[in-house]
Amino acid sequence: MNKIICNSVEFVFRTEIEKMKQGTIPVLKDSGIWKKIDVIEKPVYQSIIKQNDAGPTNEETVTVKAKHNNLTELLIKYCGFYTVLRMSTNKGILHVGNIKYPCSMEFTSDKEFDNYSFKAVSPA
């Protein structure tokens, strides 16, 4: 299992991506923009290869804690849950998810803090 501490997290909805192949930088549509999540703790990225009957899969998870933001909450609740993440680490930029295998997301909020858990599963 790989575990990486990230410096920042941005997301774009799958519908805002013009094209993207696995392992490449997404090309956004004219209307597409990266949306930054204002983190209050370092986001954590984890990756694990799992053996399944249909073949190995790569399961990537990103957990993020942020100060509550009504705009981000509205965007996520009403614009879709299928996203691609762009994260900044000490070693560069890391993308999680793609058009074919986007991240799904779970979101909780206590109106002070927002907690996000993103998960992308793709063939290994």
Per-residue confidence in pLDDT tens, the chain, 124 aa? 677 788 889 988 888 999 987 667 889 999 999 988 888 999 999 999 999 898 999 999 999 999 887 766 666 666 666 888 999 888 888 899 988 889 988 888 888 898 989 999 999 8
Contacts for 123 with CB less than 8 Å, ≥ 6 apart: 55, 56, 57, 58
Q: pTM here?
A: 0.84
Burial class of residue 58 (count of CB atoms within 10 Å of its CB; 0-12, 13-18, 19+): middle
Domain spans of the chain? 2-123
| CA pair distance 64, 47, nearest whole angstrom | 15
Kindly state the DSSP code that residue 14 receives in the 8-state scheme: G
Fold annotation for 2-123 = Elongation Factor Tu (Ef-tu); domain 3 (2.40.30)
**Would you state the pLDDT for residue 46?**
94
